[in-house]
Chain A
Amino acid sequence: MKAQQNNSRSLWMIVLAVFVGLNSCTIEEQVDLNAPSVDGIEANATISELNNLVAGILHGQRNDLDIYLDDHAIIGRDFYRFSSADPRFTADIPGAGSAVLDNNTFYITRPWAAGYQVIRNAWVLRHAVANTSAPINDEQKRGYLGFAKTMQALQMLWLSNLTYDNPDGCIRVDVEDPDNLGPLVSYDEALDFIAALLDEAYDDLNNAGNSFLFPLSTGFASFNTPATFGQFNRALRARVAAYQQDWNEVLNSLAVSFLNPSGSLTLGAYVAFSTASGDRPNSMYISLPNLPSNARVAVNSWVADAEPGDLRLNKVAPRSEPAVSGQFSSNYDVALWSSLDDDIAIIRNEELILLSAEAKIHLGDLSGAIADLNIIRVAAGLAPYSGPSDPESLINEMLKQRRYSLFGEGHRWVDMRRYNRLDQIQTDNPDEDVWRYFPIPASEG
């Protein structure tokens, strides 16, 4: 009996020792060792943290921009992307054989996610500006807000170009609360929202004083004050108005944009790339000559359809031997970018002149339109326009000039689609498709 008591006494002593021991030590709350947190920044950011978010937006714009541009160029048959590492560039996107677009593959999921990541970063910036106790005045705050909203509108515009009038919807525009997202809206609703957001941003910029409290990248060298950034905002607004076929608005916006008929055609806003430490090189650039295993090569018809002497053919470089990948073949490498440090255009003067021409055609100012088109033709080393001057012919001419002026910059597919001419995009092989829109990414549910 004594021994049994001894046994249970030992048991209870052990139990006691364990639980006294366990509760007498406490573990400190975990802190994030590796990075700042969103919650902390939104609650109370310093000025330098706000500026970090601005730079984050500019950086984020570069994420998967190459995929976005490849998507456009391949479907619009500007150029092909050959990659031995990823066959889907030459299968799904050009619809080779019976391949179709998938809703869970990089060509839609990656640019979609990258775009909304920038939009989220801009929301974090907007929230942080609203809550900050840093010493900044109302004008300076509206500078941040005008920037953030313009960038959100730009990203939504890019995304809506991919999903367009997909019957499942185009994009979500109400995404402020990540736990309570708005519905996928139609393409027309998306454009209305983007236009309104740009207008709201423009109002902020007009009340943002003379300078921003934050630096911008070299891509925005000409647009780094509230006033000049407002001109960039209006240029985007003109593009949106054209997509909305609101031709008066196109001209109104262009009037206060950086449109300059006598200025450099390359004047504009750019996404900046660099090979500097920690920075991001331009991944659209591939050194010449491209290898067939890793190439961007122009669709031959783009060269064949050009008028003789068009200087814009310098955007491609002839190959000594055709590049072949499966059923695709090309004699020209894309030479639109000349180094890993080259920037990629967001919007530039050349497009604005063409938008002006387009609006004038639709509003009946045909001679004004021809004058605009001739600026482009002459700059490309071509004779002034001598064809028929009826609206239909001028639209053909305008689309043709856009094809060569904006090669590889994400326009051809959109342009042919908004004029209902996708069936006029020539494919090299009969079994290819010219898709109208991308599927909504699977994870949008």
Chain B
Amino acid sequence: MLLTVWRAQAQFEVSGSVTTQAGDPLTGVTVAVKGTNIGTTTDEDGQFRLNIPGTTATLVFSYVGFATVEKTVSSDNRRLEVVMVESSSVLEEVIISGLATTVKRSNAANAVAQIDAKQLTGIVPPSTFDGALQGKFPGVQISQNSGAPGGGINIRMRGITSINSATQPLFIIDGVYVDNSIIPPGLNVVSQAAARGSPRQFDQDNAANRIADLDAGDFQTVEILKGPSAAAIYGARAAGGVVIVTTKRGSSSPDAPRVRFSQSLGFQQILNPLGMRQWDTQKVADFYGAGSAEIQKFLDAQAAGKLYDYEMELYGNKGLISDSRLSVMGGNERTAFYASGSHRNEEGIVLNTGYTKTALRLNVDHEISEALEVRLSSNYIKASADRGYFNNDNTGTTMSIALSSTPPWAELHPLPDGSYPNNPYAPSNFLQTRDLITNNESVDRIIMGGTITAKIINTDVQSLKLLLQGGFDSYTLLTRAIFPRELQFQKDGNGTNGASIQGTTPNFTNNQSAILVHTYYTPSFTFRTQGGLTRESFKRNTIIVTATQLIGSQTNVNQAGSISTFQFRSQQLDLGGFIQEEINWDDKVIATLGVRADKSSNNADPNLLYWYPKASLAVNLTRFVDGLDPFSTLKPRIAYGESSNFPPPNAIFTNLNGVIIDGLAGSLVNNQRGNTAIQPERQQELELGVDIGVVQDRAVLELTRYRKVSKDLIFTAAVPPSSGYTTKIVNGGTLENRGWEITLSADLVRTENLSWFSSISWWKNRSEITELNVPAFVTSAFGATLGTFYIDTNRSATQIVGIGDPDLIEPGDEYVVYGDFEPDFQMSFYEDLRYKNWSLTFLIHWKKGGDNINLTQLLTDLGGTSHDYDDFTLDPEGILPNGPYRISQLGVSAAPFVEDASYVRLREVGLFYTLTGEQIGAWTSNLVRSAQIGISARNLLNFFKYNSYDPEVSNFTGNGLASGVEVNPYPSSKSFLVSLNVSF
């Protein structure tokens, strides 16, 4: 009704064209009439046509990768020729502002980090999705756990959010909640890393995060909501931040490539070999004793030229990498599709380890009518990782720990009959272990999602949209660890005559939401109201069967003399609702208010609603006053939000564990006590910032300060073990993170032949335990003798303490403070240079400070094989060489085991040469639109003093502080690739 009334009053038609600076027409440019719901897009020739009510209007032209243009039109000026200028300005990005809405960054009140496909996967094709994220987001610390093929990382956004509960972010891909569990293979039965026991004690099994399965090559953008101020609308699951992935969609544009093929070939090799100790007779006598037979063995081996470099025998493989990818897209005015298939195959730096992944994707968008649109996404992944057998143990059997006590004159090579000699220096012949064991994780995964958007109301001044969204992530993980009975540590009473540990985990996650978005335009204000309901459900069921006393060479678990089983189930159902109101005053002031409410079966009272408010304000000063030159943007912003973190599954129960003795089934109290009054943890974050742009936003400085408070921290608090329990789940403290994030990005040069985009980020975070209602406690390491994390009031949450000189212990303290896992600061340099057909892109990542607990060197010292055993750099009195010095400090001081883990690394670098269609079109009958050939490398250059393979390491996987403790890991690698990309 309103529409016809207005049209009758006055309206005029405007038409025009949109081109690039070079004069090429631009298709798909959004043309909107400011202050109304009226708009269109340009056609294949860059033309548009619009009917506008009234006599004057402002048209806004926007297109990804180009600077937004505003033009005034009137009934006297109905023809427009618009030239759009390419821009890499971050302020042109469109970022998430709600569950169903986006906002241009120039209007955003949060420092949301976003990267596109080019930065994500465009420099070096990544092995796993997690690896593609490292170093690319200011405020986010992403560190890998080891070099084992198949991934495994720890992500911390704006510091550590929780000591014991989940700290990993929520991953959402095209609206589907994607599972990121770490599911252990149950190696503990053999390694006894957590001492003998059930596979429950899993966090040293070095399993991968399941997010690693995803194929980043299909991703268009990745956005990170780092804290509750941006993520509050995700409520009870957003404590660790939210990673939102949008995958590539089809396009009907004739400019878009229809078929793309990429092939990369290369290899990876150990990143930082340490070298072996150089022995001589005296050293052998010193270590093994003056009369030891080892002296003669050493001399014999030396004379026979049989001193082996076992480090390189174990870690020296040059693993081949092959990465192939084919994508097809197309469509017509109503339907668009994107389909892709990829296959990656990589060998590890240890023989018989490696990773393969095949992924298929089909995304289809269809417009049923003007008012009804459907978007479907589907993804199938099959991945398999052979991860070897590394890290801590208590049996001396992992390959790396066996290596640490094996001198170079040991003869471990297979005998002519194919059998392996026993390693007299360790419980395991690691060459035999390498050649005979299997430790495989394989996953079959389907992720599907769909959105129906219905435009219920669509007039010149308002619109009401209904979004129905749903999806699921379903996978089955099979873990298979086979330790054959002929292994040194399995046969002759040294073990269990073989072990076959096979796990099966079906995991099913699904979520649905219904969201209404109402937008109402007035000439100077736009109001956008949204509200919706969400439902998320999670189910997991892990069954691990451990067979020992294997029959012959059988690996079926029923071909065994002893079988034990383990099952872990978890189920969770969450229901939530939210409302959000955004008010935009002419792009001058943008305010948002919202609230979310959540209930969950994981809470002690499953029907109690928990509320999460949010509010934000951004002010574009340059829109108020002209002549603020040189500033093109000057935007102070402030945002506040809350989110929470569920209690761990089963936190409310005190269990009895099932045990067996002499065939009698038994129940033994679990050492963790439940708590029926447990509350979710709650995060409150205030973020202040300013975005400053100069020279039409060619250079933009984003400066952000945040303060994030985590209240009601859930601790697995140590309780006096004389209670019969060692821990109890409690709400017991408050943790505060404060930090700075600064990003300076600039289009330094932009000419036809030469362009240079540079983005430099600097970030730091400091945490403090401001309140602690449980006694200070050590956590996440191996005790104070070797250095440990220590949670104490008014101290950093990530401080590392240990035993040591009483003079160094501050009054009132129990231990010496030796360091902190938190880096002093981190910095990244992303540079993208193009000259004619050449492009050079690289990412340098600098982590300054931050300490690790390095126990690899200690175990290697005790085995007498450390590469620096005989150097004199540590003993302040200069008497003892490094190896004996470190050993002498064992039980005296943890100082030698806490080490600075700073690094500077060239994470990614790629040099590409592009041939355009014009250059090669002639030879290929215009079939090929462009071709690109190049070389790239990951971790090509690394600078660190840290005395091991890689300062980025973790023996533990999982939640909380699980980072920065090193015990003989699978060493990290660097990789080199040659790539060919062809677009048709």
9-residue interface stretch from A101-109, A131-139, A142-150, A389-397:
A101-109
Q: Are A3 and B520 in contact (CB under 8 A)?
A: yes
Write the B539-567 contact mask toward A (1 if CB under 8 angstroms, else 0): 00000000011000000000000111101
9-residue interface stretch from B137-145, B172-180, B303-311, B721-729:
B721-729
Residues of A within 8 A of B655 (CB): 32, 34-38
Which residue of B has the minimal Cβ distance to A16?
Answer: B531
Q: Are A85 and B784 in contact (CB under 8 A)?
A: no
Residues of B within 8 A of A4 (CB): 520
Does B22 sit within 8 A of A, measured CB to CB?
Answer: no
**When A38-B669, A55-B665, A276-B562 are in contact, do A22 and B577 touch as well, CB less than 8 Å?**
yes
Closest CB in chain A relative to B199 CB, distance in Å: 12
Give the docked Cα–Cα distance between A279 and B549 (Å): 13
Write the A76-88 contact mask toward B (1 if CB under 8 angstroms, else 0): 0000000111111
Residues of A within 8 A of B718 (CB): 443
Residues of B within 8 A of A18 (CB): 531-533, 577-579
Residues of B within 8 A of A33 (CB): 569-571, 650
Give the A interface residue count (CB, 8 A): 110
Interface residues in B792-850 by Cβ distance below 8 A to A read 803, 814
Write the B766-809 contact mask toward A (1 if CB under 8 angstroms, else 0): 00000000010110000111001000000000000001000000
Closest CB in chain A relative to B270 CB, distance in Å: 23
Does B606 sit within 8 A of A, measured CB to CB?
Answer: yes
User: A41's contact among B514, B599, B656, B887, by CB below 8 Å, is which?
Assistant: B656
Does B2 sit within 8 A of A, measured CB to CB?
Answer: yes
Q: Are B654 and A39 in contact (CB under 8 A)?
A: yes
Interface residues in A347-394 by Cβ distance below 8 A to B read none
Does A215 sit within 8 A of B, measured CB to CB?
Answer: yes
Write the A417-442 contact mask toward B (1 if CB under 8 angstroms, else 0): 00000000000000000000000011
Residues of A within 8 A of B573 (CB): 27
Q: Are B518 and A36 in contact (CB under 8 A)?
A: no
**When A3-B520, A280-B196, A283-B196 are in contact, do A27 and B575 touch as well, CB less than 8 Å?**
yes
Closest CB in chain A relative to B432 CB, distance in Å: 15
Q: Are B575 and A22 in contact (CB under 8 A)?
A: yes
Interface residues in A320-344 by Cβ distance below 8 A to B read 321-322, 324-326, 329, 339-340
Give the docked Cα–Cα distance between A123 and B668 (Å): 11
Give the docked Cα–Cα distance between A339 and B289 (Å): 31
**When A35-B670, A59-B668, A84-B863 are in contact, do A96 and B724 touch as well, CB less than 8 Å?**
no
Interface residues in A97-130 by Cβ distance below 8 A to B read 97-100, 102, 104-106, 109-110, 112-113, 116-117, 119-121, 123-124
User: B396's contact among A2, A57, A294, by CB below 8 Å, is which?
Assistant: A294
Residues of A within 8 A of B863 (CB): 84, 293
Does B353 sit within 8 A of A, measured CB to CB?
Answer: no
Give the docked Cα–Cα distance between A56 and B530 (Å): 56
Give the docked Cα–Cα distance between A339 and B492 (Å): 11
Q: Are B578 and A443 in contact (CB under 8 A)?
A: no
9-residue interface stretch from B50-58, B253-261, B379-387, B419-427:
B419-427
Give the docked Cα–Cα distance between A34 and B571 (Å): 11
Does A315 sit within 8 A of B, measured CB to CB?
Answer: no
Give the docked Cα–Cα distance between A175 and B237 (Å): 38
User: B531's contact among A6, A15, A119, A324, by CB below 8 Å, is which?
Assistant: A15
Does A264 sit within 8 A of B, measured CB to CB?
Answer: no
Which residue of B has the minimal Cβ distance to A93?
Answer: B891
Give the docked Cα–Cα distance between A154 and B529 (Å): 69
Give the docked Cα–Cα distance between A33 and B195 (Å): 26
**When A37-B653, A52-B665 are in contact, do A84 and B404 touch as well, CB less than 8 Å?**
yes
Does A301 sit within 8 A of B, measured CB to CB?
Answer: no
Q: Are A32 and B650 in contact (CB under 8 A)?
A: yes
Q: Are B196 and A279 in contact (CB under 8 A)?
A: no
Residues of B within 8 A of A99 (CB): 890-892
Q: Are B723 and A104 in contact (CB under 8 A)?
A: no
Q: Are A88 and B785 in contact (CB under 8 A)?
A: yes
Does A54 sit within 8 A of B, measured CB to CB?
Answer: yes
Does B923 sit within 8 A of A, measured CB to CB?
Answer: no
Q: Are A172 and B722 in contact (CB under 8 A)?
A: yes
Q: Are B292 and A324 in contact (CB under 8 A)?
A: yes
Which residue of A has the minimal Cβ distance to B565?
Answer: A278
**When A86-B394, A445-B720 are in contact, do A14 and B533 touch as well, CB less than 8 Å?**
no
Write the B445-469 contact mask toward A (1 if CB under 8 angstroms, else 0): 0000000000000000110100000
Does B662 sit within 8 A of A, measured CB to CB?
Answer: yes
Nearest 3 Cβ contacts at the A-B interface:
A120-B724, A99-B891, A55-B666
Known pairs A2-B2, A276-B660. 15 more at Cβ < 8 A? A3-B520, A14-B518, A29-B606, A30-B602, A37-B656, A37-B674, A55-B665, A55-B666, A56-B656, A96-B891, A102-B784, A104-B788, A106-B783, A287-B494, A322-B289
List 18 A-B residue pairs with CB atoms under 8 Å apart, sorted by A's residue number.
A10-B464, A11-B518, A33-B569, A56-B657, A60-B659, A84-B863, A88-B891, A109-B721, A113-B726, A120-B724, A181-B723, A275-B549, A277-B562, A279-B662, A287-B493, A291-B425, A293-B863, A339-B493
